[in-house]
Amino acid sequence: MKNRIYVNKKNKPKNNNQKTFNIEENIKKINREIINDLEVYEISIQDKINDLLNENGYIFNKKLDIITKDNVYHTSIANVLKDKIITMDKDIINISDILDIKRI
């Protein structure tokens, strides 16, 4: 007696080549969408500071990375004046010099 191998009957039509995918065009499209999203969601430094001040809790309990043109400060904010920030480390930073503020 011979062993029989099961062979599935192919009843379904093949649709393999109906859609094509061009990688270069799609990458360019995705990059344009990301750039547009970044431009829409770009938040000013003053808005970030205001958001931090308006959140629950005290501002000096929030650990931050303050990135400026010259330095990166790993600290908390003690006080905010008109155009300056005073940190818990007693550094005075001009708001115009700040490039970004990130929470740690």
DSSP the chain: -PPPPP-----SPP-TTS----HHHHHHHHHHHHHHHHHHH---HHHHHHHHHHSSS-GGGS-EEEEESS-EEEE-EEEE-SSEEEETTS-EEEGGGEEEEEE-
How confident is the model at residue 44, as a pLDDT?
Answer: 84
Residue 44 included in any domain:
no
How confident is the model at residue 79, as a pLDDT?
Answer: 92
Residue 47 included in any domain:
no
Residue 50 included in any domain:
no
* Owning domain of residue 89: 62-104
Residue 28 included in any domain:
no
Mean pLDDT by 10 residues, the chain (104 residues): 74 63 69 62 80 90 91 93 93 91 88
Q: Tell me if 72 sits within 8 A of 40, measured CB to CB.
A: no
Residue 13 included in any domain:
no
Residue 95 included in any domain:
yes
How confident is the model at residue 63, as a pLDDT?
Answer: 93
Residue 8 included in any domain:
no
Q: Per the confidence metrics, is the pTM higher than 0.85? A: no
Q: How many domains does the chain have?
A: 1
Residue 33 included in any domain:
no
